[in-house]
Amino acid sequence: MALADELFREFRSMSVSEFFRKNAAMLGYTGRIRSLTTIVHEGVTNAIDAGEECGKLPNVYIRIENLGDGGRYRITIEDNASGIPEKYIPEVFGKMLAGSKAHRNMQSRGQQGLGISGAVLFCQTSSGKPVRVISSTGEKGIIAEVMIDVEKNKGKVSKKEEFDPKGWMGTRVEMEAKGVSYNRSKYGAFNYLRLTSLANPHVQIELIEPDGTKVLFERVTEELPKPPKEVKPHPYGITADDLLRLAREKGGERKSLKTILVKELSRFSDKRVRELKEKMALILLSRKLETQIEDLDKYLSEIQDEEEKRRIKKIYSGFLSQAAKILRKEARYLNWEEADLIVNAFSRMKLLAPPTEGLSPIGEENISRTMKAVLNPEFVACVTRPPKTYRGGIPFQVEVGIAYGGQVDEEGIEVFRFANRTPLLFDRGGCAITEAVKSIDWKRYGIDPNKDKVALLVNIVSVHIPYTSTGKQAIADVPEISKEIRLAVMEVARKLMRYVKRKKREMEKEAKMKALLKYVPEVAKAMSRLTGASEEEIETELSELISKKYLSSEDFSEEEREEAIKKEEKVILISNGGGLDEGSRKEAETTRE
């Protein structure tokens, strides 16, 4: 007795904030550059989500200041969205696992409730400073300083005052972190914002770098992506456990289970209830008779003995009433076995795939424009695949762009990964996108994966991105998603193959033509001697003949012509204009609306 009690004296529980205080690396706070990029990422995804949710074209302002003293930085992020109601400020910034997105079945950049509160936690543990929040919902402005009470996982507001926003709406967050760093490397905040801008052409991003350089990632379309829509869970995608929770959560006030199913699931209407009951009864009958029955009539028709047929029909109709009884009962009293039975019955029904109009991809045109602007390649092709679902009912969609030659940086295949239009800069190795690209036999497409210069842009959108970790930088290897990535990559690879082959053929023809043209003068001379015609004339005619033969026959198709590169204006305008100071900034804010 004493031994176990002794050993368990140290048993304790901790809050989620305490856990992530100890394991900040799990939220992406590892290394100086990555830590700063992660702070910017959390602020910017919130800013863009907020703008889109209130139907405004997002303007995001980021200022990064180096305060010296061993990597102490101030990071300011401001949006033009709807602002945060006063009472939610401590929750948004000071409570981990709290948010408005995690439990809603819709596409958004954030989904965990660990983002901005994680940034606040990292800032306060590294610099000791609270986060300063300035927010206005239109009529009243609030300035508040928030810290996390780590033991309790609760927001603490240390200072608070009101101000007159003079019509300004939005949220400005000022965070101070220590032990971080800023640069323009691949993993730095600059590149993160650049890629964010590319995948979000409707967003205007203004960055003031520590040396005062002002960078404007300009908005290139005034069109807001269609707003993300909440999608009800699909019967194919829910587990018995999900159904139990749904029944308990929504099943107050004596609502029947049937009502809950029809109301809370997508693609399941009143008309399908009868079929559900039949499938439930059939499963119960199969269990009872210890044989798998898919079709009752067919099963009965194979039985000779009329007595036996009647017996089975009677059992079946008993199970039918049992199923009806389950569906009539109060939802909150549903038990596991019943839920399991219903989910099993769902899987035997033919149901429409879940609605996918809530998904908002970047679109082929935008991807193409993006890749041309950044890489100035020789060839670009894009595909946005039709929406699919994984685990039975979670909608997702894959889009891929491929670029070849030009300014594609290095030899080999470079992959730009995005999830819900958010760039994934880290944890490349463990990501399903990387694996899918690697698994393709590039030689089959006439591409040497070590020598040819190829860039891929892969974006996955979903109401629930299956990240491998709380750091949200890699996508889990879900078979349905991996397959779609492969198919999409293969589709653009085929287009590239056609281009490369055509190009090669053209080059071969040109070489042949040139070889033939070399003999023209000599041939012309000989023919002139034989025929007496003018040597120049024969030479010209021969040359034209050869050129015509080799240039006219095969030409690039309309599609390929379209995909071929025109010169595009750069998306990024860089002005070294010292940046705005705080005063003129404030002015700009109040006049902006």
Q: For residues 236-265, which are near a second copy according to CB under 8 A?
A: 239-241, 245
Could you say which residues in the range 325-344 bind a second copy, by CB under 8 A? 336-337, 339-340
Q: Which of 470, 502, 503, 517 binds a second copy (CB under 8 A)?
A: 470
Angle 13-475-423 from CA coordinates, rounded to 5°: 105
Element (H, E) at 460: strand 453-462
Which residue in 96, 286, 81 sits closest to 168, CA to CA?
81
Site string for a second copy, 339-368 (x = CB under 8 A): xx----------------------------
Which residue in 145, 144, 146, 139 sits closest to 117, CA to CA?
146
Which residue in 85, 80, 42, 74 sits closest to 60, CA to CA?
80
- Judged by CB under 8 A, the number of residues near a second copy is 76
Contacts of the segment 271-279: beta carbons below 8 A, 24+ positions apart: 272/349, 272/351, 273/327, 275/349, 276/323, 276/327, 276/342, 276/345, 276/346, 276/349, 277/320, 277/323, 277/324, 277/327, 278/320, 278/323, 279/345, 279/346, 279/348, 279/349
- Residue 450 touching a second copy (CB under 8 A): no
- Residue 112 touching a second copy (CB under 8 A): yes
Under 8 Å between Cβ of 326 and 281: no
Could you say which residues in the range 268-327 bind a second copy, by CB under 8 A? none
Under 8 Å between Cβ of 154 and 17: no
Q: Which of 286, 322, 376, 468 binds a second copy (CB under 8 A)?
A: 468
Q: Which of 92, 257, 276, 283 binds a second copy (CB under 8 A)?
A: 92
The residues pairing with 384 across neighbouring beta strands, listed in sequence order, are 399
Minimum distance of a second copy from residue 455's CB (angstroms): 20
Minimum distance of a second copy from residue 504's CB (angstroms): 28
Specify the residue, 435 or 541, whose C-beta has the smaller distance to a second copy: 435
- Residue 396 touching a second copy (CB under 8 A): no
Q: Which of 183, 466, 516, 585 binds a second copy (CB under 8 A)?
A: 466
Specify the residue, 104 or 267, whose C-beta has the smaller distance to a second copy: 104
Q: Which of 31, 318, 355, 406 binds a second copy (CB under 8 A)?
A: 31
| Token code pair at residue 491 | 């589709």
Under 8 Å between Cβ of 430 and 275: no
Specify the pairing of strand 170-177 against strand 131-136: antiparallel
- Residue 47 touching a second copy (CB under 8 A): no
Under 8 Å between Cβ of 421 and 395: no
- Residue 118 touching a second copy (CB under 8 A): no
Stretch that binds a second copy, among 18-26, 59-67, 321-329, 552-560 (CB under 8 A): 18-26
Q: Which of 46, 59, 107, 125 binds a second copy (CB under 8 A)?
A: 125
Other CB atoms within 10 Å distance of the CB of residue 519: 12
- Residue 412 touching a second copy (CB under 8 A): no
Looking at residue 525, its amino acid is K
Stretch that binds a second copy, among 290-298, 403-411, 467-475, 495-503 (CB under 8 A): 467-475
Site string for a second copy, 475-494 (x = CB under 8 A): -xxx----------------
Could you say which residues in the range 48-87 bind a second copy, by CB under 8 A? 53-54, 82-85
Minimum distance of a second copy from residue 138's CB (angstroms): 6
| Token code pair at residue 364 | 């082929």
Specify the residue, 448 or 555, whose C-beta has the smaller distance to a second copy: 448
- Cα–Cα distance measured from residue 479 to residue 567, given in angstroms and rounded to the nearest whole number: 39
Specify the residue, 87 or 350, whose C-beta has the smaller distance to a second copy: 87
Q: Which of 137, 183, 191, 376 binds a second copy (CB under 8 A)?
A: 137
Could you say which residues in the range 212-241 bind a second copy, by CB under 8 A? 239-241
Under 8 Å between Cβ of 351 and 267: yes
